[in-house]
Amino acid sequence: MTTEQTTILILDDEPIVSKRLKPSLEKKGYEVEAFTKGADALARIQEKQFNIVITDLKMEGVDGMQFLTAVKDKYPDTEVIVITGFATMATAKESFSKGIFDFLAKPFKLGEINEVIAKAEAKIKAN
Amino acid sequence: MKILVALDVNTYSSKIVKDVARLAQNTLADLVFLGVQNGTDELDQTLLSTLMRYQQDIYSYFGRDELPYAEISSEKWSKTGKGDWSVSSKGMKEFTLRILAGTISKQVVQAATDMECDLVILGCSKEFGCEWDGEMNVPLRIAEDSPCSVLVIKQSRKSDQIVSILDQSVVNQDALEMVNQIVTINDAGLKIVGVKDKNEDKESEIEKRMVELLTYYNEREVHAWVKLINSENVKEYVTNASREAIVALWMGGKQSLIKRLFSKSMIDQLLETSKSSVFILR
């Protein structure tokens, strides 16, 4: 990765999530791209590696688990943060087995995800 | 998600630990266990050891290598203000034990506000109404005044159905997500009940809202039923539903029809009548 600015991709089919997250993260200096359709996000990761990927698991027409698997397969050093409104032990375990950085159940406050992103960023910079 | 659990030394509190553990296991939530004591001079050692025991109980539900919280040492308790003691550990997720001095309902609401919690959980007695340490109005006050959603567990049991009552007011995203988590964790069916004002037109806002919600759940392969009832029948409907299911009341904005229909005494009545849990959504 050559860019100094930390890049973040957000995938959530509920526009309100990106609408809330994107401006807040951009204000903190991150370069953010937000997607509501899994196919678009999948196409984008073929073109570009992001430092951090934030993805929902249960979305219309796309399996978030498949998306995060695709991200980790292609870019093992990209840190993936799962956000889900339908959290289960099984999905948490499966997500961690695929090497995600953290798992956040919705609802959450912006401060909570900001803290997780900062930790992921610190890990990336330390490596 | 950050969950504040209000606990004391009574049986109803110890009985909700299992439910809290299940929620924590599934959501990997940050947890705050809050106890409230009367005096301010000395830390109530009985309450302290009870909270420590509940914390250990939660940890015991997690498998080896699955615990997202770090160990907490009883020696690390510190006084952080007048009548305010706490200890916390940061593993992947944070676990805080806190004891405040004062009035239970006020301190729970204040702590939920200060700590930016997403959900408050508390138990209450099932024998006589919905009591907390002999007082009838504690769960009601917390449900009424809390800045976030509140789950009052009257009897710990897995519910097959969540009955979610909503009106024409805006469906708050946080409340929607909270219902989703409870439905998922209970592996329960979701019944969305719309309350229609008798003066509304046929194509009312509530009908549109319910169609939107049904579409939302269908897209996520969550099986949901919808039902429309008139406002004059809502109290009876909710009272009956609360006997078996977890009832979730969406207490919307200022214009909320449910808020108007459910006066304090009605929520109190619901807490008294319910045989399982009552969920106040915000």
Predicted pLDDT at B264: 59
Does B134 share its domain with B11? yes
Phi-psi region of B133 (alpha: psi -120 to 50; beta: other; left: phi over 0): left
- Tell which CATH architecture fits domain A7-126: 3-Layer(aba) Sandwich (3.40)
pLDDT tier, B254 (very low <50, low <70, confident <90, very high otherwise) = low
> pLDDT by residue (tens digit) across B147-179?
999 999 987 667 788 998 887 666 778 888 888
Query: Which chain A positions have a beta carbon within 8 Å of B177's beta carbon?
Result: 85, 106-107
Predicted pLDDT at B261: 58
Does B118 share its domain with B196? no
Residue spans of alpha helices (H) in B153-275:
173-186, 205-219, 234-241, 257-261, 264-273
CB contact under 8 A, B181 and A86: yes
- Tell me if chain A has a CB within 8 Å of the CB of B69: no
Predicted pLDDT at B230: 85
Per DSSP, the three-state class of B175 is helix
Does B99 share its domain with B234? no
Q: Each residue of B182-196: b (16+ CB within 10 Å) or e? A: bbbbbebbbbbbbbb
Predicted pLDDT at B100: 97
Query: Which chain B positions have a beta carbon within 8 Å of A111's beta carbon?
Result: 116
- DSSP β-ladder status, B161-166 and B246-250: parallel
Domain count within chain B = 2
Nearest CA in chain A to B174: A107
Does B182 share its domain with B144? no
Does B9 share its domain with B49? yes
Does B122 share its domain with B213? no
Mean pLDDT computed over every residue of chain B? 86
Residue spans of alpha helices (H) in B62-172:
104-114, 138-145
Does B276 share its domain with B166? yes
| Rounded percentage of chain B residues whose pLDDT exceeds 90 | 42
pLDDT tier, A102 (very low <50, low <70, confident <90, very high otherwise) = very high
Task: Write out the residue range of the structural domain in which residue B149 sits.
Answer: 2-153
Does B28 share its domain with B66? yes
Does B11 share its domain with B140? yes
Predicted pLDDT at A2: 46
Does B208 share its domain with B107? no
pLDDT tier, B128 (very low <50, low <70, confident <90, very high otherwise) = low
> pLDDT by residue (tens digit) across B187-209?
889 999 888 877 766 567 778 88
Does B98 share its domain with B130? yes
Domain at B173, CATH number: 3.40.50.620
| Mean local confidence (pLDDT), B46-58 | 96
pLDDT tier, B103 (very low <50, low <70, confident <90, very high otherwise) = very high
